[in-house]
Amino acid sequence: NNTDSAQYFTLLHTNDNHGRFWHNEHGEYGMAARKTLIDQLRADAKAQGHAVLLLSGGDINTGIPESDLQHAEPDFKGMSVIGYDAMAIGNHEFDNPLAVLDKQQKWSNFPFLSANIIDKTTGETRYQAYKIFEKNGLKIAVIGLTTTDTAKIGNPQYIGGLEFKDPTEVTAKLAPKIEKQYKPDITIAVTHMGHYVDANFGINAPGDVTMARNLPKGMLDIIVGGHSQEPVCMKEANVADESFMPGKACKPDQQNGTWIMQAHEWGKYVGKAEFKLENDELTLLNYSLIPVNLYIDDENGNKQLAAEYIEPNKNLQDMLAVYQKKGAAQIAGKIGNVDAKLEGDRNKVRYEQVNLARVIIAAQMQSVGADFGLISGGGIRDSIQVGDVSYKDILKVHPFKNRITYIDMTGQELYDYLQVVTSFPPDSGAYLQYYKLSFKRDNDTLSDVKIAGKPLDMTKTYRMSINSYNASGGDGYPTLTNKKGFVSTDDTDAQALKRFFEQNSPVKAADYTPKQF
């Protein structure tokens, strides 16, 4: 584009909504206040002659029972009212069958984008790959991309027919095609891949930084991301700004000429980037993460708003209140109680044996009459606090609606299976939680396997309970669904745990304290 007068562009963004259509108990975040803020930002930008685009880095689904129970209908309809232009498809969009995501697309007036999800049967992209926007004389291409980790952490029951291609390779091919056909002024990738400082992606799939470094300079002007659920605020090149707090200044990342932005999670912030485009040169004029009614502690430890209060938009609030009420009614009320905390913290369940895992497995064993059971630690999503327990508490632990399955295996088959699943290291979602099972593991050798306290008999048959996620290969567990002796039930993990509390309360936490090895 060779206009010589400058053009202006405001990019607004959020990511990782995870069911937070409603504000929390303190009135923080929530879509109604988000709408007020975005309406204002959009009006201000337009008044200054800016083109405006509002993007989401995906993971709208999963996290809050009131939303999960309604397949995030309030979240997607709320986004439509707010006026999102496009969103990246996140891994949690595959927590439900594909038909649910198709339904969610129908509820929404903006496209769900992903250029690297391929339908294995057709070889074509399963979702819209990109969209070209013309706003205020600017042509803006937006390409969607999804983490390849979805293949690993997504639900294998639903994603078996999909291939998640390398986002960098896909973009390297697609962006030049788009360039040739449309000659966009600005090219943006809206991604759900994670921002890892200095490309240190660790055990995760490579994220936005790696992609920006590996693409030809200038191919992407901007990456708007999600998935790592952190504010992307940099102190200097490749060093995160650890001092960032709500209301403070935030400098996005820049890699190989590409700006990389991400706005933490849950709609806590709206990211706002103002650009000037002149002589083909895109300059970032301003950037901020604007808190949506977030509180911080002042010097005296008192809570105070991090920025000016944002009045929730009345119409959207009313619309969402109907869903909030309906969801809340489904999950309120006591179903049982427990005499001490059942540990489900993310920093525990992926590192050591916890009492909550044993309660969960006991419930699943009871459901299918198993001798023992297991679950990957990453599948436990919350703790249960001491005292009364509601269905809502259960659904926070088990948001995924996995079914309970079992398999009858000989001692030998079981030993071979345990060889694999006992090898998963701590600090991964795959880390094994088990009950009525014990073993020793020194490096590569598994020994002293006992089921319910008795040594494993290689010729005997044992019944193991496991959820449908792990049974179908989730977290890299060996696939059992195609094995002889495998049975899937209609009972779900949440139903089984709920029933367990109904039948066994008061649950005595001490009965489930993990024993040494």
429 binds, among Zn ion, ligand ATP, none (CB under 5 to 8 A by kind): ligand ATP
Query: 3-class SS at 323?
Result: helix
Active site residue 59: yes
Active site residue 227: yes
Closer residue to ligand ATP, CB minimum distance, 91 or 214: 91
Element (H, E) at 261: strand 258-261
Is residue 59 part of the contact set for Zn ion (CB under 5 A)? Answer: yes
How far, in Å, CA of 397 to CA of 123, rounded?
Answer: 37
Q: Which of 13, 16, 68, 157 is catalytic?
A: 16
Closer residue to ligand ATP, CB minimum distance, 34 or 92: 92
Is residue 75 part of the contact set for ligand ATP (CB under 6 A)? Answer: no
* Closest listed residue to residue 196, CA positions, set 188, 204, 187, 184: 204
Q: How far is the CB of 292 from Zn ion (least distance, A)?
A: 20
Is residue 10 part of the contact set for ligand ATP (CB under 6 A)? Answer: no
30 binds, among ligand ATP, Zn ion, none (CB under 5 to 8 A by kind): none
Which x/- pattern, by CB under 6 A, does the window 235-274 give for ligand ATP?
Answer: ----------------------------------------
Active site residue 317: no
Instruction: Find the binding residues for Zn ion in span 218-247 (CB under 5 A).
Output: 227
45 Ramachandran zone, left/alpha/beta (phi>0; psi -120 to 50): alpha
**What's the token pair of residue 483?**
């094995």
**What's the token pair of residue 316?**
């959207």
Q: How far is the CB of 78 from Zn ion (least distance, A)?
A: 19
Instruction: Find the binding residues for ligand ATP in span 181-240 (CB under 6 A).
Output: 227, 229
Closer residue to ligand ATP, CB minimum distance, 149 or 371: 149
**What's the token pair of residue 429?**
């979602």
Residues in a beta bridge with 303: 297
164 binds, among Zn ion, ligand ATP, none (CB under 5 to 8 A by kind): none
475 binds, among ligand ATP, Zn ion, none (CB under 5 to 8 A by kind): ligand ATP
Query: 3-class SS at 244?
Result: coil
Q: Which of 91, 262, 433, 495 is catalytic?
A: 91
Q: How far is the CB of 32 from Zn ion (least distance, A)?
A: 24
Which x/- pattern, by CB under 5 A, does the window 86-125 give for Zn ion?
Answer: ----xx----------------------------------
* Closest listed residue to residue 64, CA positions, set 29, 14, 114: 29
155 binds, among ligand ATP, Zn ion, none (CB under 5 to 8 A by kind): ligand ATP
Closer residue to Zn ion, CB minimum distance, 89 or 233: 89
Q: Are 302 and 63 in contact (CB under 8 A)?
A: no
153 binds, among Zn ion, ligand ATP, none (CB under 5 to 8 A by kind): ligand ATP
Active site residue 104: no
Cα 255 to Cα 32, 215, 392, 407: the distances in Å are: 34, 10, 42, 49
> How many residues sit close enough to Zn ion to count as binding (CB under 5 A)?
4
Cα 140 to Cα 29, 143, 177: the distances in Å are: 29, 10, 14
Single residue of 378, 437, 495, 501 touching ligand ATP by CB under 6 A: 378
How far, in Å, CA of 318 to CA of 489, rounded?
Answer: 39
Active site residue 192: yes
Where does residue 153 rank: exposed (0-12), middle (13-18), buried (19+ CB within 10 A)?
Answer: buried
Q: How far is the CB of 16 from ligand ATP (least distance, A)?
A: 6
Report the 10 Å Cβ neighbour count for 481: 15
234 binds, among ligand ATP, Zn ion, none (CB under 5 to 8 A by kind): none
Whose tokens are 């790959």? That residue is 129
Q: How far is the CB of 152 from Zn ion (least distance, A)?
A: 12
First to last CA, the chain: 66
| 467 HSE (CA, 13 A, CB side) | 32
Q: Find all residues with CB under 8 Å of 391, minimum gap 6, and list them.
A: 65, 330, 331, 332, 333, 335, 494, 498
Element (H, E) at 40: helix 31-47
Active site residue 398: no
Q: Are 356 and 394 in contact (CB under 8 A)?
A: no
Active site residue 504: no
Single residue of 61, 187, 390, 402 touching ligand ATP by CB under 6 A: 402
Closer residue to Zn ion, CB minimum distance, 28 or 59: 59
Residues with active-site annotation: 16, 18, 59, 91-92, 95, 192, 227, 229, 346, 350, 381
Contacts with Zn ion by CB under 5 A lie at: 59, 90-91, 227
Contacts with ligand ATP by CB under 6 A lie at: 59, 90-92, 95, 153, 155, 227, 229, 376, 378-379, 400, 402, 429-430, 469, 474-475
